[in-house]
A and B are shown apart, each in its own frame.
Chain A
Amino acid sequence: MSEDDQLIAELEIQNLTLEEQQNVLDELRMQIGEALASGYTDEQMAEYQAIIDDDHEVINAWLIANAPDYKSTTAYQQLAEGYDSDPDKVSPDKVYAYMAWVEKNSPELAETVARIKADVKANIDSYK
């Protein structure tokens, strides 16, 4: 089951049309993104933006400071697999830094996601 399917089941929106389901999931993710972003300082946001925008200097500096052994991790090795044949050349350093950055800078991530999921579900239920 995909992540989308799992969210659809958790939110109990199986009866909505595919388009409506997609909109709910997108709305959920937008809210999660906004909630997380609201907890960051401007400096943190600038750093995050630089990472996802593939600023090599920032990515390298962040990884050296926060995850010096990242290349030996299972996560990195999996992300690096297929890089040579990847037409987009998506940098595993960038993807790893993106995930690790969100994780490190969001100490209450699981709680935030759970709360927003509950809010969205309650909102949907109120229309049923």
Chain B
Amino acid sequence: MSEQGPTTPPQPNAERVSMNDRLLNAMNKHVENTEVAALQESYDAMDVDELALELAEAIDRDDTIGAEQIRATADYKIMDQITRPDHQTDVADDEYSDEVTKFSDMVGQLSKRLSSPGDWVAPSAAGAGDVLGAPEGVPSELAIGSHVTFEGKKGFIQEVFTSSTGDQMFEIMDEEGDMHFTRSENVVDIDAVAVAAEAAPAEAVDVVAGPVEAGTTSPEDTATTAPENLPTPEAKEKWFAKHKEKLKNIFRPSYWGARFSGVQYRFMEKGVTENMTDEERNKQRNKNRGIMMLGIAGSAVGLYAAGLLTHQLFDALGAHPGAVGAGGGGGGGGGGEAAAITDPNAHSGSGSAETTFNPPEVIDPNFTISNNEGGYRLLGSLGIDPSKWDGIEQQLKTLSPSEFFLMDDGHYGLQNPGAILSEPVRNLINTLK
């Protein structure tokens, strides 16, 4: 990852190669740290069942650090549940022990399933005919793709885990695109309820289908066969509320600084040759950046194709008249836009000189810490005597209060693992060198 030599196109400028390597290292370090923080955030949002699956997967891929992080989160959550509602300190040891045992058993079962598929089988193979998930008296056959409600939200089952003892757990994607992992007794089988309602029409039953698995149904099919799958305005609002920052981030300079992986870096250099002028190189890189952005948009839209980001979205909102179904397809659409892009004024308004890709400022990647690291570690990695931390920590806190916090031992810690320290802080620390 840090060495791009064998696969990086030849660079005529040695200084730039060095700069690119440093940039790549900085980006990778930042990505690594960001991933740790993001992972913790995602673990915090999970319930104990979901953490069990995460832990099982971590164990199966020998991710001991991740497993430790997940286990600690689960332990806290179990403890938190037991001591609620008033966070009593007199914890019932037996209850805690029972819950931990249950959690461990679940992890063991799931982990076993992942490494030995024969122990956990799909419902069709297991002949699951009366699984939990439907109201009493309503026959149910929950399987991948089944529409369900979970915690008040509609969704569909993405994966089913069935143990040799018949217990089932489901991975569910809800209408907002969030994933959940839960026991069968926590979900309601919408389809089964619908069948029951049909059999007894006098009973009013609210049945609305959930999203359809991306890639399995074309938008047209969805629109004609299941118009109820159109996302509601509320669902759209929630989806955008959740994803708008990500969409906007694609246009931030920091995104292109922080997200470069080896593959992205090589792609960015695709078509860039030794005999190109700087302007030509920048033009090619900018073109590559555009294609990368196409892929980012494409994969996002593809994932939620039948849910929120298809033609249906804009059509339903009335913002896309004639976008689909006019019979023109790509060619027709392109023809209609020719006037806009062949206008010489419009096109020359953003000449290549103004649209070059400029790598962000290169910052020493050591100006950050990971979880459970502190000021001593920070200075040490910067080649500064760690003991100098004691003499500067108060100044740093005063300089940038949001980046530091007072620890129990009276020293100051770094508030934001994974984040590059601010420029004023970096400058002050650099004075110690």
Contact = CB atoms under 8 A, between A and B. Distances in A.
Interface of A: 1-3, 5-7, 9, 14-16, 18-19, 22-23, 25-34, 36-37, 39-41, 43-50, 52-58, 61-62, 65-70, 72-76, 78-79, 81, 86, 88, 90-92, 94-95, 98-100, 102-107, 109-114, 117
B301 A26 contact: no
B346 A50 contact: yes
Contacts of B216: 114
Interface string B1-44: 10000000000000000000000000000011001001000100
A18 B262 CA distance: 13
B302 A117 contact: yes
Nearest to A94: B251
23 contacts: A2-B38, A3-B299, A3-B300, A16-B61, A26-B261, A26-B264, A26-B267, A33-B292, A36-B295, A44-B330, A48-B290, A57-B343, A58-B347, A61-B340, A73-B314, A73-B317, A74-B233, A79-B248, A88-B252, A95-B250, A113-B215, A113-B298, A113-B301
Interface of B: 1, 31-32, 35, 38, 42, 57, 60-61, 158-159, 171, 173, 178-179, 214-216, 218-219, 233, 236-237, 240-241, 244, 246-248, 250-254, 261-264, 267, 286-287, 289-303, 305-306, 309-311, 313-314, 317-321, 323-324, 329-330, 333-334, 336-338, 340-343, 345-347, 349-350, 354-355
Contact of A102 (B264, B294, B340, B350): B294
Contact of B314 (A41, A53, A67): A67
A54 B237 CA distance: 25
Name the prevailing secondary structure of the A interface residues: helix
A114 B215 contact: yes
Name the prevailing secondary structure of the B interface residues: helix
